[in-house]
């Protein structure tokens, strides 16, 4: 008998699950219901579309519903909102947003991939035109339309995390002055202090205004459009605002079902990407928690990389092939002007608060021979556990060569390799790419001496 698989959500987690399951078991009857008009959207590219590096919005998504059906054999229903899940009857209630009709669909297997929604400031003036979030495809299209139809000289960016800083670069490329308003003492607050210091130095060098320890209290407007941000630290004139203050899991549909959740509403999942306690319910993407490989605890790491791994794991298991995703080292990277900035594992503060006996070093080292183009310094902070001699975390910032070196440390963390076993790893060397002792090896050997 055919199995009915219902997938709620058609972005990274949902489409990955559908494609994997259908490939392994073509007899599965799989339906994806997505409330938005677009599926398989690459939201990580949004800042670069705003900045003009991506010229066509169609390049922001990988499939349309038609191409997904033609290539993957899965039906996709866009503008269809699942409004209710009945676990006892194994059915969902779906609203067709095009004509406001309702219908039920039965399932044998359910994949919850509802994603997340942006956190919006609840302040006076939020209804003014020219104030945006940056989470969905519609958001980035509306931002570009507003920029094309209005004279934008200065943009307020509320929140100085990775996305906010990527926007800083991209607005600057267009000759638009960014003003970053951050309520915490520093931007990029999830990074180690030594890395933040280098970020601040780069922003200062580029003449970027970062207002920290400051909370937006009200949006001021003229003729229905935002014209300023009133804060507890003064008023800042702007022509547009983009809020990048975080996201939270889109848990409305499942929050009352009794499924185990993190405090923010993300679903607990096991290594098969199943919702904890259920063999026929899976969760993937920004609505799902994931095991932290260092602490061993359920964590929240809403990136496209996580969503794709969870989705594929879910799909493989649904398709009949046992697969496990053991968890995340929380590897991440972003670009800020000429700098690559990234980290993997825990920060020093996180390591200490998690109960590890922490040893940390920070070094400024050459990324390659100084005679070659883009030679420069990479700042590396490496954190280890004194008891096990394992790496707990690594952060880097530099002109070139950060990302792949971080991949090395992600592997060392994932497979719990002691520092002594890593100090003589056979790393590639040629003067255009590294020094004879690569900075990764130098940092490992230096940390060993501190143990």
371-381 average pLDDT score: 90
Locate the DSSP E strands across 300-398.
Answer: 332-336, 339-345, 358-366, 377-385, 391-398
Given this model, what pLDDT does residue 303 score? 95
Topology (CATH) of 4-44+60-117+248-318: FAD/NAD(P)-binding domain (3.50.50)
369-377 average pLDDT score: 85
Q: Where exactly are the structural domains of the chain? A: 4-44+60-117+248-318, 120-245, 332-450
Q: How confident is the model at residue 1 (pLDDT cuts 50, 70, 90)?
A: low
Q: 120-245 sits in which CATH class?
A: alpha beta
**Cβ atoms of residues 228 and 236 within 8 Å:** yes
Topology (CATH) of 332-450: FAD/NAD(P)-binding domain (3.50.50)
Residues marked as catalytic: 44
Does 22 score more than 80 pLDDT? yes
- Could you report the per-residue pLDDT of 251-287, keeping only the tens digit for each? 999 999 999 999 999 999 999 999 999 999 999 999 9
Does 375 score more than 90 pLDDT? no
Given this model, what pLDDT does residue 402 score? 96
Given this model, what pLDDT does residue 129 score? 98
Does 239 score more than 70 pLDDT? yes
* Residue 85: CB atoms within 10 Å: 21
**Cβ atoms of residues 218 and 228 within 8 Å:** no
Does 371 score more than 90 pLDDT? no
Q: Classify residue 390 by its DSSP letter.
A: B
**Cβ atoms of residues 326 and 191 within 8 Å:** no
**CA dist., res. 403 & res. 368, Å (int):** 14
372-385 average pLDDT score: 93
402-428 average pLDDT score: 96
Global pTM? 0.95
- Could you report the per-residue pLDDT of 140-168, keeping only the tens digit for each? 999 999 999 999 999 999 999 999 999 99
Taking Cα atoms as reference points, which of 128, 91, 99, 119 lies closest to residue 4?
91
Three-state SS across 191-213? Answer: CCHHHHHHHHHHHHHCCCEEECC
**CA dist., res. 363 & res. 136, Å (int):** 39
**CA dist., res. 6 & res. 284, Å (int):** 13
**Cβ atoms of residues 128 and 225 within 8 Å:** yes
In Å, how far from its chain's centre is CA 303? 3
- Could you report the per-residue pLDDT of 171-183, keeping only the tens digit for each? 999 999 999 999 9
310-332 average pLDDT score: 98
**Cβ atoms of residues 442 and 381 within 8 Å:** no
- Could you report the per-residue pLDDT of 49-94, keeping only the tens digit for each? 999 999 999 999 999 999 999 999 999 999 999 999 999 999 999 9
**283 Cβ neighbours under 8 A, 6+ residues apart:** 13, 111, 112, 113, 267, 269, 273, 274, 275, 310, 314
Does 233 score more than 90 pLDDT? yes
**Cβ atoms of residues 414 and 293 within 8 Å:** yes
Comparing 4-44+60-117+248-318 with 332-450, is the CATH topology the same? yes
- For 430: left if phi > 0, alpha if psi spans -120 to 50, otherwise beta; the answer is beta
Q: How confident is the model at residue 446 (pLDDT cuts 50, 70, 90)?
A: very high
* Residue 374: CB atoms within 10 Å: 12
Does 415 score more than 90 pLDDT? yes
């Amino acid at each position: 008998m055919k199995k009915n698989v219902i997938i709620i959500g058609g972005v990274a987690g949902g489409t990955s699950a559908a494609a994997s399951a259908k490939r392994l078991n073509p007899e599965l009857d799989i339906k994806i219901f997505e409330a938005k008009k677009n599926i398989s959207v690459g939201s990580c590219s949004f800042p670069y579309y705003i900045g003009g590096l991506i010229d066509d919005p169609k390049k922001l998504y990988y499939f349309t519903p038609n191409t997904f059906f033609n290539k993957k054999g899965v039906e996709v229903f866009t503008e269809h909102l699942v409004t209710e899940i009945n676990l006892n009857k194994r059915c969902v209630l779906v609203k067709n947003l095009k004509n406001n009709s309702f219908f039920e669909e039965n399932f044998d297997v359910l994949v919850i991939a509802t994603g997340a929604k942006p956190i919006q400031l609840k302040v006076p003036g939020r209804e003014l035109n020219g104030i945006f979030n940056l989470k969905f495809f519609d958001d980035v299209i509306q931002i570009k339309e507003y920029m094309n139809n209005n004279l934008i000289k200065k943009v307020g960016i509320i929140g100085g995390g990775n996305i906010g800083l990527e926007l800083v670069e991209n607005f600057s490329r267009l000759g638009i002055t960014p003003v970053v308003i951050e309520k915490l003492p520093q931007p990029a607050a999830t990074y180690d202090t030594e890395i933040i210091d280098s970020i601040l130095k780069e922003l200062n060098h580029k003449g970027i205004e970062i207002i920290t320890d400051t909370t937006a209290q009200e949006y001021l407007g003229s003729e229905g459009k935002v014209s300023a941000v009133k804060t507890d630290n003064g008023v800042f004139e702007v022509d547009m605002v983009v809020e990048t203050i975080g996201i939270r899991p889109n848990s409305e549909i499942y929050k009352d079902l009794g499924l185990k959740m993190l405090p923010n509403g993300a679903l607990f999942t096991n290594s098969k990407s199943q919702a904890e306690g259920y063999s026929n319910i899976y969760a993937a993407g920004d609505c799902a928690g994931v095991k932290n490989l260092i602490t061993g605890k359920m964590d929240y790491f809403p990136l496209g990389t996580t969503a794709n791994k969870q989705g594929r794991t879910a799909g493989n298991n649904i398709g009949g092939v046992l697969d496990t995703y053991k968890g995340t080292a929380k590897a991440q990277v972003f670009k800020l002007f000429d700098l690559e900035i990234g980290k993997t594992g825990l920060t020093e503060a996180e390591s200490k608060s998690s109960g590890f006996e922490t040893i940390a070093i920070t070094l400024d080292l050459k990324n390659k021979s100084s005679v070659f183009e883009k030679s420069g310094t990479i700042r590396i902070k490496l954190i280890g556990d004194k008891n096990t001699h394992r790496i707990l975390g690594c952060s880097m910032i530099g002109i070139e060569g950060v990302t792949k070196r971080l991949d090395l440390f992600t592997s060392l963390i994932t497979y719990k390799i002691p520092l002594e076993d890593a100090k003589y790893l056979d790393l590639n060397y040629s003067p255009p790419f590294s020094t004879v002792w690569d900075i990764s090896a130098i940092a490992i050997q230096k940390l060993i001496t501190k143990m």
